[in-house]
Structure 1
Amino acid sequence: MTLGERRATVSLAGIFGLRMLGMFLILPVFALYAKDLTTDHAMIGLALGMYGLTQAVLMIPFGMASDKIGRKPVIIFGLLLFAVGSFMAASATSIEGIILGRAIQGAGAISAAVTALLADLTREEKRTHAMAVIGSTIGLAFAVSLASGPAIYRWIGVPGMFDLTGILSLLAIPVILFVTPNPGKTAFHSDAEANPARLKDVLRNPELLRLNWGIFALHASQMAMFNVVPFALAQDGLQVAEHWKVYLPVVIVSFAFMIPVIIFGERQGKLKQSLVGSVLLMLAAQLLLAASMNFFWGVALALLLFFIAFNVLEASLPSLISKIAPPEAKGTAMGVYNTAQAIGLFTGGVAGGWLAQHVGYYAVFIFCAALMAIWVVLALAMAPPPRVKTQMFHIGAMTAADAERLAGQLAVFTGVEAVTVLHEEGTVMLKVSQTGWDEEGITHLLNRGND
């Protein structure tokens, strides 16, 4: 990567991490805090999930708006919205006020605009690596949130945590203005942005729909269970500020288990087996939570199983989207995927809160187990994902006829599984075998064409 690409990647990854921190930092403590504001657990669940609803509604429109009025103005506007929502939630004295603040937080739905800006600032050949850095940052932010949330709660409480995320959002604005490079030009990138013309194809692809259900179910379960898990940990006298003593070792051990599973799946071509196994593990975790709700060590073990499965699935699903989606619709597929994730956050928060209030805590975990059981059935029926990876190259604009000719030339190289030449964007997108593809020959051909 060039210096400019590194600056863009690190600064934008930080902003992605901030959004996740703002959403997840309160997760391990909010339900216990909110019980002093309301006796209606359904309202607590709505407050947890409301962020996801406005995010789902506005994510893709914000990305499309950034094509027209510029990436940085949209991102700055979203950060301001996020900060306003954070400060409103911090100052709220009622659960309704927090719900409104969370809705405004989610309305700062800048993820699509940030991804588009990263695409503007990175070469096609380096973009996959840059996106992987952002994905890693999101996972790290979630882990840090769970491990540090209870300790931060001891120092500043939930209102202080909301204030902290608002301040961090405001501090991100000068980073966008003065650290993140300005794009030389704003262009549409099929690999990073949603294209309405491709939406129908993505929604009709059964393999992508299975993955969209997966990310929906995963985050619905995550948000639903945190309506109840804090109470399960507190029932034996463990103060909320001490819950980090459970979350920290669970997160560390889960990451240690996650890495070999992902390596096995990728290198051995066993991604389907890894996926199905992880969903089954998630199902087992939910059933164990339902059965051991009143047993501290049973809850702790179930949380360990949950986070092992969660980390594997959270890392694997975007990779599967990339392998399965048509290259020219990858950005659209990821847009639908991210929207399904946000809808899952909202649905899980609302359903978990309602079930906890009207049925019982155990029903929340049965609900999560049902989501996982459906996913198991869908995952077992999925076709084994191809052992391919995406490679992109910039070639400059060309005519449709030249693009068709180049696609034919590229298709004959060893290891090339699919070729897409986007002549208007000046981009070649290849799906190639994970090993053994003729990188040298392809690079030589493309460089000769650019001379």
Structure 2
Amino acid sequence: MNNLEARSTFALSSIFALRMLGLFMIIPVFAVAGQQYHGATPALIGLAVGIYGLSQAFLQIPFSLLADRFSRKPLIIFGLALFALGGAIAALSDSIYGVIIGRAIAGAGAVSAVVMALLSDVTREEQRSKAMAFMGMSIGLSFMLAFSIGPWVTEQVGISGLFWVTTIMGTLAMLMLLLVPKVTRHYRVAPQGYLTQLKQVLGMADLNRLHVSIFMLHLLLTAMFVFIPSQLIEYAGIPLAHHGWVYLPLLLISLFFAFPSIILAEKYRQMRGIFITAVVAIVLGLIVMALGYDNKYGLLCGLALFFIAFNVMEALLPSWLSKSAPIQSKSTAMGVNSSFQFLGAFFGGTLGGFLLSMHQIGLGWAILAGIAIIWLLVTFQLNQPRYLSSIVVTLPDTEKMDDWTSLLLAVHGIEEVVVMPEKQVAYIKVDKQQITDTARQELSRLLNQELAI
């Protein structure tokens, strides 16, 4: 990565991590701490925890549709402001209904897809998977850290203080956006009407298979985190307060295996093969836990397989999505994908609770393995994504930037031009399979330099 890409990746990954940390710290403590609120019942406590994800699922698509028309940064700021406001409302509330309203408003800042779309704008195609891997790592670490420090933070500042921490994190996330350059996007194909654009995205078979994949991945992850804690206590002898020290080393080990897989997928264009291998690893991990749940090492080996595959998938899915989605509808496609992600988490939590109520652990893991096998059958139908290349150029000294980008987009094989005027840099995204010798010569003329593509 160049300096611009590294700085932008760090900033946008930090935004994701800060939001996730603020969201997840409440989960391990609210079932107990939430009982202090007026009107609290088990059902309302559960709603207070889950309403955030439901708001996210419904509002990802509207935010992402807007992000394909307008500048992405102001939308992210607006979403983070809602996130911070929701945390403040929950912190000031003394009734469970106020907390529910605050959590719903925080969830209304549904900008996950917009953040990923902005990351795809400011990174070259060849560096995309690395950037997404870094973002996936930050999400995973924040997830584990939240479960580890949530009880400690609550003990120090109370449950209302925990919500104030959420507000502070939302504010810090807005400040991180200052590190990301302003971007203007120019496409060969102009954006269509909102409904037409959404229909186009929903009508693409490979995109739908990727949506099913993110749904399955987060359904299985959430169900597993609901289902496994009692088994770690009973069969592995690990108390609940120490579970973070189980998940964190496994996550770090998984990253050691995940990064070479991601490089292999991108550099040697083996994304489909690595993707299917990761789903196979998830199936195997669940089968290991189904057969060895009553053994400490069986549980840990199954978890390790799952985490390795999970981190590979977290990096590959958004990268693959950004390659397969229509360039002018990239954010819309990511919004649909994020909606499926949050719906997967919602249904996964419900499924995990159902599996716990069955009191048949082996059968529970077998059900999860069966779901993963169905997912594997879906992934076999995926086609290899299209690979674009990026050319980094210095902006010409011209006041008519729109005319210059229009001339570039008229060259056969040029798919998109992303201009960062503050840095005097542009990324030109090229389909090497489409560009001809004539087009190459015309592009060299427009850029005033010889191109080896």
| TM-score using structure 1 length | 0.74
The 5 Å alignment of 1:219-298 reads 219-236=218-235, 237-298=237-298
In 1, Cα distance between the equivalents of 2:308 and 2:9? Answer: 27
Most deviating of 365-374 and 202-211: 365-374
Shift of 1:102: 4.4
Give the SS at the match of 2:110: coil
Are residues 195 and 378 of structure 1, via their aligned partners in 2, closer, same or farther at CA, if it must alter by over 3 Å?
farther
Shift of 1:11: 4.0
- Give yes or no for contact 1:282–1:309 (8 Å, CA) kept in 2: yes
Shift of 1:226: 1.2
Are residues 392 and 224 of structure 1, via their aligned partners in 2, closer, same or farther at CA, if it must alter by over 3 Å?
farther
- Give yes or no for contact 1:78–1:108 (8 Å, CA) kept in 2: yes
Are residues 231 and 60 of structure 1, via their aligned partners in 2, closer, same or farther at CA, if it must alter by over 3 Å?
same
Are residues 72 and 273 of structure 1, via their aligned partners in 2, closer, same or farther at CA, if it must alter by over 3 Å?
closer
1:61 aligns with 2:66: no
Give the SS at the match of 1:384: coil
Are residues 255 and 125 of structure 1, via their aligned partners in 2, closer, same or farther at CA, if it must alter by over 3 Å?
closer
Shift of 1:178: 9.2
In 2, Cα distance between the equivalents of 1:211 and 1:336? Answer: 10
Consecutive unaligned residues of structure 1, counting only runs of 5 or more, are: 412-418
Deviation string 1:285-334 (CA, Å, 9 cap, x unpaired) is 22333333333322222111110110111111122223323333333222
Specify which of 397, 404, 411 is matched with residue 402 of structure 2: 397
One-letter amino acid matched to 1:227: V
Shift of 1:208: 1.4
Are residues 262 and 162 of structure 1, via their aligned partners in 2, closer, same or farther at CA, if it must alter by over 3 Å?
farther
Deviation string 1:5-30 (CA, Å, 9 cap, x unpaired) is 87765444322211122334456x45
Specify which of 414, 417, 420 is matched with residue 415 of structure 2: 420
The 5 Å alignment of 1:349-368 reads 349-357=349-357, 360-362=360-362, 364-368=364-368
Match of 1:326 in 2: 326
1:78 aligns with 2:52: no
Match of 2:423 in 1: none
Are residues 306 and 9 of structure 1, via their aligned partners in 2, closer, same or farther at CA, if it must alter by over 3 Å?
closer
Match of 1:140 in 2: 138
- Give yes or no for contact 2:88–2:163 (8 Å, CA) kept in 1: no
Shift of 1:88: 7.2
In 2, Cα distance between the equivalents of 1:108 and 1:88? Answer: 19
| TM-score using structure 2 length | 0.74
Deviation string 1:145-202 (CA, Å, 9 cap, x unpaired) is 31562355246359857744642533542663697279879879899x9973322222
Match of 2:23 in 1: 23
In 2, Cα distance between the equivalents of 1:132 and 1:255? Answer: 12
In 1, Cα distance between the equivalents of 2:188 and 2:99? Answer: 37
Give the SS at the match of 2:402: coil
- Give yes or no for contact 2:324–2:385 (8 Å, CA) kept in 1: yes
In 2, Cα distance between the equivalents of 1:362 and 1:190? Answer: 53
One-letter amino acid matched to 2:372: M
One-letter amino acid matched to 2:144: L
In 2, Cα distance between the equivalents of 1:420 and 1:188? Answer: 9
Match of 1:341 in 2: 341
Most deviating of 298-307 and 163-172: 163-172
The 5 Å alignment of 1:426-437 reads 429-432=429-432
Match of 1:170 in 2: 168
In angstroms, what is the RMSD of aligned CA positions?
4.7
In 2, Cα distance between the equivalents of 1:229 and 1:337? Answer: 27
In 2, Cα distance between the equivalents of 1:8 and 1:226? Answer: 31
- Give yes or no for contact 2:202–2:208 (8 Å, CA) kept in 1: yes
Q: How many residues are treated as equivalent by the alignment?
A: 426
- Give yes or no for contact 1:55–1:342 (8 Å, CA) kept in 2: yes
Give the SS at the match of 2:415: strand
Are residues 117 and 245 of structure 1, via their aligned partners in 2, closer, same or farther at CA, if it must alter by over 3 Å?
closer
In 1, Cα distance between the equivalents of 2:234 and 2:30? Answer: 13
One-letter amino acid matched to 1:52: G
Q: Identical aligned pairs, as a percentage?
A: 28
- Give yes or no for contact 1:125–1:391 (8 Å, CA) kept in 2: no
- Give yes or no for contact 2:124–2:389 (8 Å, CA) kept in 1: no
In 1, Cα distance between the equivalents of 2:284 and 2:176? Answer: 48
Match of 1:111 in 2: 112
Consecutive unaligned residues of structure 2, counting only runs of 5 or more, are: 421-425
In 2, Cα distance between the equivalents of 1:169 and 1:176? Answer: 11
- Give yes or no for contact 2:63–2:335 (8 Å, CA) kept in 1: no
Match of 2:444 in 1: 444
One-letter amino acid matched to 2:151: Y
- Give yes or no for contact 2:415–2:430 (8 Å, CA) kept in 1: yes
Give the SS at the match of 2:430: strand
Most deviating of 216-225 and 374-383: 374-383
- Give yes or no for contact 2:125–2:390 (8 Å, CA) kept in 1: no
Match of 1:305 in 2: 305
One-letter amino acid matched to 1:54: S
Match of 2:151 in 1: 153
- Give yes or no for contact 2:136–2:315 (8 Å, CA) kept in 1: no
In 2, Cα distance between the equivalents of 1:62 and 1:306? Answer: 31
Are residues 77 and 363 of structure 1, via their aligned partners in 2, closer, same or farther at CA, if it must alter by over 3 Å?
farther
Are residues 158 and 187 of structure 1, via their aligned partners in 2, closer, same or farther at CA, if it must alter by over 3 Å?
farther
1:383 aligns with 2:388: no
- Give yes or no for contact 1:219–1:341 (8 Å, CA) kept in 2: yes
In 2, Cα distance between the equivalents of 1:365 and 1:83? Answer: 36
Give the SS at the match of 2:382: coil
Shift of 1:382: 2.1
- Give yes or no for contact 2:86–2:101 (8 Å, CA) kept in 1: no
- Give yes or no for contact 1:45–1:349 (8 Å, CA) kept in 2: no
